[in-house]
Amino acid sequence: MSGDLVSVIMPVYNAEAWLQRAIDSVLVQSHAHLELIAVDDGSRDRSPSMLDAYAAADARVRVVKQPANGGVAAARNAGITAARGDYISFLDADDWWHPAKLERQLTSMRDNDALVSYASYWRVAEDGRILGKVTPPLQVDWHDMLASNFIGTLTGMYARRLGDVPFQRIGHEDYVFWLEQVRRAGKAVRVESAEPLGWYLVRERSLSANKLRAASWQWDIYRNVEKLGVMQSMVCMARYVRHALIKRRRVGV
């Protein structure tokens, strides 16, 4: 699979503090046949000039510029539209990857005949402290995903032949996206790796840190996106709460 082109989609908004680390972690991948599509979402800091410098230095970097801040969902959609790869992977501008992430992921997908995959990752505080390790199940299907989003988007990848779906501008847009892709694929598998393949920066002002708001978003997804009945939504919500509590104990959410 060394000939497969991987498109890496990176939304960028006022990310100058972290951008170099994120981009460098992509460009040093052992699977070098990639394109990095960095979508500048109306940044007002040094991010645009940093992106232009990377694009001038490495032909694998392509910059898409949005005139105004439209949000992460719109930025990712613009990146998907511009992508030319056989596989699509995502990395936010404040997160970063293990250098063998793409190589191990492609191998895992081939070995497991999988169209969607994900990996374990570290959660890191802004001061550099490791908060915990997130280790999702070895394999999930759509039913499993109704209980929780087991796919950290910084580790998620899908084969383009599965078909692209747009990110919706909705609470938990990552979850809605992977829920649909797993439904289409039938399953998703965890990359076989002895170590986590990504680092997720936990920022103090993260929207997902508001647990009540997150629960409200989850209920809305069950009822208005997945169109589940009230009773089935209640069962799924109970599973969601259980998994959220387990995750909080394990990784210090």
Q: Give the pLDDT confidence score for residue 166 in this predicted structure.
A: 96
In this structure, are residues 85 and 34 in contact, taking their beta carbons and an 8 Å threshold?
Answer: yes
CA nearest neighbour of 89 among 200, 171, 178: 178
- pLDDT grade for 253, boundaries at 50, 70 and 90: very low
Place of tokens 């076989």: 192
- Give the model's pLDDT for residue 104: 98
CB 249, CB 200: distance < 8 Å: no
Tokens matching residue 161: 């032949």
Percent of the chain exceeding pLDDT 70 equals: 93
Residue 130 bridge partners (DSSP): 124
Task: Please enumerate in sequence order all residues whose Cβ is within 8 A of that of 159, keeping only pairs 6 or more positions apart, or say none.
Answer: 86, 87, 109, 115, 116
pLDDT digits (tens, 9 = 90+) for 94-124: 999 999 999 999 999 999 999 999 999 999 9
**What would the DSSP string read from start to end of 73-112?**
HHHHHHHHHH---SEEEE--TT-EE-TTHHHHHHHHHHHT
Average pLDDT over residues 53-77: 95
Report the predicted TM-score, pTM, of the whole model to 2 decimal places: 0.89
Alpha-carbon distance values, 136 to 149, 162, 216, 225 (Å): 9, 22, 23, 24
Residue 249's pLDDT band (cuts 50, 70, 90): low
Q: Mention every residue, 6+ apart, whose C-beta is less than 8 A from residue 207.
A: 171, 213
Q: Quick check: 148 pLDDT over 70?
A: yes
- 31 half-sphere exposure, CB direction, 13 A CA radius: 23
